[in-house]
Amino acid sequence: MKLYLARHASAHDVAPSDAARSLTLEGQEEARIVGAAMAQLQAIPTRIFSSPLLRARQTAQIAARAMQFTGEVETLEELRNDTGTEELLRTLKRSGGGADVLLVGHMPDLSDHLAILVGASEPRMGFGKASVACVDLPELRPKSGQLVWFHSQKQLREFAKQDALG
């Protein structure tokens, strides 16, 4: 399976609660770029899971539209921060997973999940807003993955431009 890990796009700093923080206009464009770039990279997931927090759900939904994803964006409580990687993997197994899965979540857990999946010795890998990593994961278990690519928002913009020119 290919597992794509994406950090939510830029969100407003002020909201009634952290969970209610919505994407800024710039964040909406970043999310669109995530989807357009993934489509250009032929990285179309069979399932998309998002943290239940508004900014992650919005990122996932906008990216899904941009990549012409036809399924539903599903929420997973385990994509909130403070969930261990093994617990996240158990939930993915129970959900039936899919051939290729996109997870949209938050720092710092996304970087921890990535490091644990690929067996990196450094626990923190820098995930800028609206950046995406692709992991080839033959088994849903820690240290079994291989990092295929990791693209920042700036790099994703270049792929999305190619799509627009194409």
pLDDT attached to residue 123: 64
**105 with 3: CB under 8 angstroms?**
no
pLDDT of 35 strictly over 80: yes
For range 26-51, the mean pLDDT: 96
**79 with 105: CB under 8 angstroms?**
yes
pLDDT attached to residue 50: 98
| 48-98 pLDDT, tens digit each | 999 999 999 999 999 999 999 999 999 999 999 999 999 999 999 998 867
Token pair for 136:
């080839």
pLDDT attached to residue 3: 97
pLDDT of 160 strictly over 60: yes
For β-strands 132-136 and 47-50, DSSP reports them as unpaired
Token pair for 14:
């002020």
pLDDT of 164 strictly over 70: no
Token pair for 44:
């179309």
| 106-135 pLDDT, tens digit each | 999 999 999 999 998 776 677 899 999 999
Higher pLDDT, 82 or 161: 82
- Domain assignments of the chain as residue spans, ordered by start: 2-165
Task: To the nearest 10°, report the CA torsion of 69, 125, 57, 149.
Answer: -10
Tell me 20's DSSP state: G
Contacts of 161 (CB under 8 A, 6+ apart): none
- CATH assignment of 2-165? 3.40.50.1240
Tell me 138's DSSP state: S
Q: In what order do the strands lie in the sheet with 47-50?
A: 73-75, 47-50, 100-105, 2-7, 132-136, 146-151
- The model's pTM is 0.95
